[in-house]
Structure 1
Amino acid sequence: MLTLLAQTGSAGADSQSLAFFNFITTHWQFCLLHFLEFAIWGAWIVVLGNLLNARGFTRKEIGSIYACMPIGTMISILILGPLADKYFSTQVMIGVLHLVGAVLLILMARTDNARRFYWLTLLYALAFSPTLGLVNAIVFKHDADIFGGLANQGFPWIRVFGTIGWIAAGLSHTLILKKGQPVNANPLLLAAGLSLVLGLYAFTLPADPSKVALAAADAVAGEPAVAAVADVGILQGSIEMLSRHPIFFLVTFVGAMAMGLYFAFGALFLEKTGVPPRTVGPVMTIGQWIEIFFMLALPWFLGKDNVNMNWVLLVGICAWAVRFGVFAIGKPLPMVLFGVAIHGICFDFFFAAGMVNANLIAPESLTATAQSVYGFLVYGLGMYLGSELSGWLNQYFTKPTTAADGTPDTVTNWRAFWAIPGVCVAICAGLFFMSTLGRPPAGDGSNAPAEIPAQASEVGE
């Protein structure tokens, strides 16, 4: 009997592997699209704080520059995404925006002035942020051709190449950065080169279906921000969603601020803890390796009818408290690396699962609105405020000092810096736990395992 089960399991695994291989060889264009999209982002965003610190920017300036990406996200959700969807072909928009982005990245690499760098980064954010949704949209707009109308089942096989691209870009830092030297502009130049390649490659992608087909494809794709902006009742719907589930959205908002803080200063913290600058990027990819597993396993953790949703969300927010607690202790280094490694739990169990929960708690008439509110709070306003406040907070705990060779230097009280967000998310974890006592998790009545919306993978690499 055991032998039969083993043979059956092996046959199932072989069949799944064959299906995966056949899928990616048939639809390699979209796999490559996602690989390049996230390789561009991962090439520079992780170590940007290290580069700016090496250039002498203040911690406030670093935080403000990191806040540019959430600003771009908010504007793209409200304005650029709907305009692109209504007036332009998706592949053309991706190509043009990435060609513009390549030029801006080169200018950023050549700029040492903080004010000029800020405005260039903001312009780049306005160009790049819409493409995060567009690379998903173009896949779903070809839904019938690629998936036979079952896009959500095959999308993770394409999206996983985005995570692989992010990891590959991070690992490349050992080749493009000099040993024993601070982070230089090479990550930005690498991103510029990749952006140029993607900008040209995008024009070879299959053309959009008709505008009539686009409307139906968007509904399948889960691009609720576009639909919601067109809805004249978006403001009223948003207020209704926030008033119905204030604790969930409040905890989500605080968690998003914590994520903005982590992205802004996590890599710089690793460098100051003893990780060589050229290996900071590769070390940060540990979290993405773990994330692949938890993202694919998330439907299993959520269980049938998402019965475990509240517990999954609670574990996710607690993981953020653990991460900040470990960072506050600051040693030994393997413990700090553990804080990096649990990114899969921090992101997938809270933000990816949270997007599923936002869909479950919303009545059918407010599904698109719920996703828009969630995306705006997490990837827009929450990360913006988190990035801005992280700069002020880090500057407050950073004092001037003198290095051993007599040159001016700075020292940061990292324990206090990480303890503050750690306490905040711990309080939110307790608040969320109390709010769920005696309340069953939201459910949609489906007997199928939870499906992860496309937007859950757009940000948080």
Structure 2
Amino acid sequence: MGIKQRLIVMNFLQFAVWGSYLVCIGNFLGRVGLGDYIAWFYVAQGVVSIFMPAVVGALADKFVEPQRMLGLSHLAAAGFMLLAAWFGYRATELTAAGLPTAIGPIFTAYCLSVAFYMPTIALSNTVAFSVLKSTGHDTVRDFPPIRVFGTVGFIAAMWFVNFAGFGLTGEQTVAEAGVETVRTVSLAAQFTYMQLVVCGVLGLVLGLYAFTLPRCPLARAEAGRKTLAQRLGLDAFVLFRQRKMALFFLFSMLLGVSLQITNGYATPYINSFAASSDSWFAANPTLLVSVSQVSEALCILLIPFFLKRFGIKRVMLMAMFAWVLRFAFFGLGTTESAGGVVLLFLSCVVYGVAFDFFNVSGALFVEQEASKPMQASAQGLFMLMTNGVGASVGTWIAGRVVSRYCAWEGGYLVAREGVEGGWSMTWILFAAYALVVAAVFALVFRYRYDPAKLR
């Protein structure tokens, strides 16, 4: 197997590990009485993203070869995720017996797992770049086609847990002819602890596979010049003295609030329609949401054209208004009519614009506006504000909003009785928030478009 093919396998597995549970863990948590804690699982991911990549990256630079650190991190993450799956199995047994489930064991094991997984995203890139350079390849030309297989792996894992049932069944309450009926149904992995097992097994495979990759040299000299604060991007806070940069980082955080909301609540929302209908889409929410990742992969190819034609600020605005459409289409969509399904589908399509356009254009803005010695730290600060602080705060707020209007009943997260609005109101509130952020950004952020900088 050639070196490119080996790196393709690495990237495929890297994101398949994540895709096996990221958008559907809420379906499982709700069925074992932990639905009110969905937001905390995503908050934990954002919190560890603030500091763990820097800590593990420092070790990979100075003491442990990157490919070995990648393998060790995945083995640790897989072990803790399998432990979380065991606690998930116990929670399933307790729920079936009508007993309450404690969040502590499964949440602790999950947090430890993601703490070791999140650094591997950067580590896998480090390994890929190092191996490509050492074998005489052009990273600018050869890495993107390799990286796109990461998205393919994410989608493949989503499809697998959407359909694979592993023979598990469960009781669900379904409204038939206006009468609620409890019936036994087959449950795909997206609704059970088996999604965590799939994640753990894939992590073990990748952890062992990483040890077979070519050696990557340590970067002790360069690493020795970097402090932990620099790795976290904290030294880049000096950029807040510049009005333009301060506004950019502030809006990065505000937009980051939107990042994990649909990851946490899109599939429980779509599946909620199964409580009152036999819609195929309601029964396969993970598959429908996977259209978002397909769109993400395709939109990456469109970014160069849009940047050259419209400039960075306008592309950022496109991303912000795409978030408005993402949430609004969810609020208007339903699986109970063809038109409603089309709206859900469109919500997934615009996700590619919402996610990719801001991340890529934002990274380019930082590269162009930050001084050379500060660029790495500025990029770290950009990621900290969006995927760390913004995503964590946003998911926590989203959890409070969803709990206000919806409640778990019979295995489904449905509109709360006595409270007007339900799911539609939650999505409209999120859309309104994104609209306000986009409008204010358009008014206060000043940036002169220079086409020459994008050549």
TM range (shorter): 0.7 to 0.9
**1:100 corresponds to 2:76:** yes
Aligned to 1:389: 397
**1:124 corresponds to 2:130:** no
Please report how far the alpha carbon of residue 104 of structure 1 lies from its aligned counterpart in structure 2 after TM superposition. 1.3
Aligned to 1:361: 369
The equivalent position to 1:424 in structure 2, one of 417, 425, 433, is 433
State the one-letter code of the partner of 1:89.
E
The equivalent position to 1:165 in structure 2, one of 134, 145, 153, is 153
- d(CA) in 1 for partners of 2:316, 2:227: 25
- d(CA) in 1 for partners of 2:231, 2:378: 15
Aligned to 1:19: none
Please report how far the alpha carbon of residue 409 of structure 1 lies from its aligned counterpart in structure 2 after TM superposition. 8.0
- d(CA) in 2 for partners of 1:184, 1:233: 36
Q: Is the 8 A contact 1:138 1:208 kept in 2?
A: yes
- d(CA) in 1 for partners of 2:453, 2:257: 32
Secondary structure of 1:342's counterpart equals: helix
Gaps of at least 5 residues in structure 1 are 1-23, 219-225, 449-461
Aligned to 1:223: none
State the one-letter code of the partner of 2:108.
W
Q: TM-score, normalised by structure 2?
A: 0.82
- d(CA) in 2 for partners of 1:44, 1:147: 36
Please report how far the alpha carbon of residue 320 of structure 1 lies from its aligned counterpart in structure 2 after TM superposition. 0.2
Q: Mapping of 1:2-17 within 5 angstroms?
A: none
Please report how far the alpha carbon of residue 364 of structure 1 lies from its aligned counterpart in structure 2 after TM superposition. 2.3
C-alpha change, 1:396 and 1:292, in structure 2 (3 Å) is same
**1:251-287 Cα distance to aligned partner (Å, 9 max, x none):** 2212111112221111211211446566222211111
Please report how far the alpha carbon of residue 325 of structure 1 lies from its aligned counterpart in structure 2 after TM superposition. 1.2
State the one-letter code of the partner of 2:19.
G
Please report how far the alpha carbon of residue 400 of structure 1 lies from its aligned counterpart in structure 2 after TM superposition. 7.0
Q: Mapping of 1:73-84 within 5 angstroms?
A: 73-84=49-60
- d(CA) in 1 for partners of 2:266, 2:39: 12
**1:352-411 Cα distance to aligned partner (Å, 9 max, x none):** 22122222221223212210110101111111112222222211222577x7xxx99853
Aligned to 1:237: 236
Q: Is the 8 A contact 2:61 2:218 kept in 1?
A: no
State the one-letter code of the partner of 2:56.
L
State the one-letter code of the partner of 1:416.
M
C-alpha change, 1:26 and 1:64, in structure 2 (3 Å) is closer
- d(CA) in 2 for partners of 1:277, 1:195: 29
Q: Is the 8 A contact 1:31 1:159 kept in 2?
A: yes
**1:415 corresponds to 2:415:** no
Q: TM-score, normalised by structure 1?
A: 0.81
CA-based RMSD of the aligned residues comes to: 2.7
The equivalent position to 1:301 in structure 2, one of 290, 303, 306, is 306
Please report how far the alpha carbon of residue 294 of structure 1 lies from its aligned counterpart in structure 2 after TM superposition. 1.1
Aligned to 1:254: 254
- d(CA) in 2 for partners of 1:289, 1:374: 25
The equivalent position to 2:65 in structure 1, one of 78, 89, 95, is 89
State the one-letter code of the partner of 2:31.
A
C-alpha change, 1:49 and 1:147, in structure 2 (3 Å) is farther
Secondary structure of 1:440's counterpart equals: coil
Q: Is the 8 A contact 1:27 1:146 kept in 2?
A: no
**1:333 corresponds to 2:341:** yes
Secondary structure of 1:110's counterpart equals: helix
Aligned to 2:176: none
C-alpha change, 1:233 and 1:354, in structure 2 (3 Å) is closer
Moved more, 424-433 or 241-250: 241-250
C-alpha change, 1:27 and 1:235, in structure 2 (3 Å) is closer
Please report how far the alpha carbon of residue 26 of structure 1 lies from its aligned counterpart in structure 2 after TM superposition. 4.5
Aligned to 1:71: 47
Please report how far the alpha carbon of residue 228 of structure 1 lies from its aligned counterpart in structure 2 after TM superposition. 6.9
Q: Mapping of 1:13-24 within 5 angstroms?
A: none
- d(CA) in 2 for partners of 1:409, 1:297: 36
- d(CA) in 2 for partners of 1:204, 1:344: 34
**1:197 corresponds to 2:226:** no
Instruction: Number of aligned residue pairs: give it.
Output: 405
Aligned to 1:176: 164
Q: Is the 8 A contact 1:241 1:370 kept in 2?
A: no
Please report how far the alpha carbon of residue 173 of structure 1 lies from its aligned counterpart in structure 2 after TM superposition. 2.3
Secondary structure of 2:259's counterpart equals: helix
- d(CA) in 1 for partners of 2:365, 2:413: 46
**1:434 corresponds to 2:443:** yes
Aligned to 1:281: 286
| Aligned-pair identity (%) | 24
